[in-house]
C-alpha cells in the first residue's frame, strides 16, 4: 500500500462536509426544528440513491470478489426485508424529527440543488471507471467521528428528537469503518498507474463536493426558518 497515495486520498477531506457552516451549526445546537427536518428530508434523497449507485458500480466491476463484497452494501441499505436496513433506519429518523412518511417519500421537500448533486453522483458511478467509483465511497474514512459528534449533539441540544431515531448514526459508527477499510484495500490494489491514482483522488474530491453542495442547497433553502 503506497503511503503517499493513501495520504493523498485522506487529504481530500479538506472539503468534507463536517466543515460546512450548516453542519457546524447542527453540532452546536443552533438549528431550528424546521432546518433539521429540511436536512433529514433532503438527505433521504441521497440515502435512497445509494443502492442505485452501488448497483451501477457492480455492473461495471470486472472483479468477482469485489462484486460479491460490494453487494453487501445494497443489502445493508435496502435490508433483507421490509422495515429493515439503513433506509428503514433513516425513515425512523424522519419519524423522530416530526416528518410524515408521505412527505418524505413523495420528496416534496427535496430542493433542486440536492437532487442535482445526488443525480450527478449516481451518474458518475455509472459512467466512471469502476475503481474511481469505489474511491468516491472513501468519504467513509472520515464519517465515524462525525457520526459520534452528531449523536452527542442531537442528544444534548435537540431532546425533542426521539432517541430511537438515532439508530442509523449509531450503526454507521460500526459499519462505516468496515466498508472504508475494504474500499481502501480495493483502491490501493487496483489503482497502480499514476492516471488511476489521480482518477481515484479526483473521485473522492468529487464526492466531497457532492456532499458539500447538498448542504449548500439545504442551508440556502432553510436559512430564514432558523
Residue pLDDT, tens place only, 34-91? 999 999 999 999 999 999 999 999 999 999 999 999 999 999 999 999 999 999 999 9
Count CA atoms closer than 13 A to 149's CA, side-chain side. 14
119 vs 123: CA distance, rounded Å: 6
Cα–Cα distances in angstroms (integers) from residue 86 to residues 82, 172, 213, in the given order: 11, 9, 23
166 vs 160: CA distance, rounded Å: 12
Cα–Cα distances in angstroms (integers) from residue 202 to residues 10, 12, 91, 134, 191, in the given order: 12, 9, 32, 12, 13
Q: What is the pTM of this model?
A: 0.95
Domain total in the chain: 1
CATH code: domain of residue 15: 1.20.910.10
Q: Which domain holds residue 118?
A: 3-225
Residue pLDDT, tens place only, 15-39? 787 889 999 999 999 999 999 999 9
Q: The cell 503506497 sits on which residue?
A: 2
CA dihedral 175, 178, 179, 181 (to 10 degrees): 150
Q: The cell 453487501 sits on which residue?
A: 72
Amino acid at each position: 500500500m503506497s503511503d503517499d497515495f493513501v495520504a493523498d486520498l485522506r487529504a481530500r477531506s479538506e472539503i468534507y462536509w463536517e466543515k460546512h457552516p450548516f453542519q457546524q451549526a447542527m453540532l452546536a445546537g443552533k438549528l431550528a426544528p424546521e432546518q433539521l427536518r429540511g436536512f433529514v428530508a433532503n438527505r433521504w434523497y441521497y440515502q435512497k440513491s445509494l443502492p442505485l449507485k452501488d448497483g451501477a458500480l457492480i455492473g461495471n466491476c470486472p472483479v468477482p470478489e469485489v462484486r460479491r463484497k460490494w453487494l453487501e452494501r445494497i443489502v445493508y441499505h435496502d435490508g433483507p426485508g421490509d422495515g429493515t436496513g439503513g433506509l428503514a433506519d433513516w425513515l425512523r429518523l424522519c419519524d423522530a424529527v416530526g416528518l410524515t412518511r408521505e412527505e418524505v417519500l413523495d420528496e416534496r421537500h427535496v430542493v433542486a440543488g440536492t437532487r442535482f448533486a445526488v443525480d450527478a453522483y449516481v451518474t458518475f458511478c455509472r459512467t466512471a471507471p469502476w475503481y474511481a467509483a469505489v474511491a468516491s465511497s472513501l468519504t467513509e474514512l472520515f464519517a465515524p467521528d462525525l457520526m459520534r459528534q452528531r449523536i452527542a449533539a442531537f442528544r444534548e441540544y435537540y431532546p425533542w428528537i426521539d432517541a430511537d431515531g438515532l439508530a442509523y448514526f449509531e450503526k454507521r459508527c460500526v459499519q462505516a469503518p468496515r466498508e472504508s477499510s475494504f474500499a481502501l484495500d480495493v483502491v490501493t490494489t487496483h489503482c497502480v498507474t499514476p492516471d488511476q491514482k489521480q482518477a481515484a483522488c479526483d473521485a473522492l474530491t468529487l464526492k466531497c463536493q457532492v456532499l458539500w453542495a447538498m448542504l449548500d442547497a439545504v442551508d440556502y433553502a432553510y436559512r430564514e426558518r432558523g
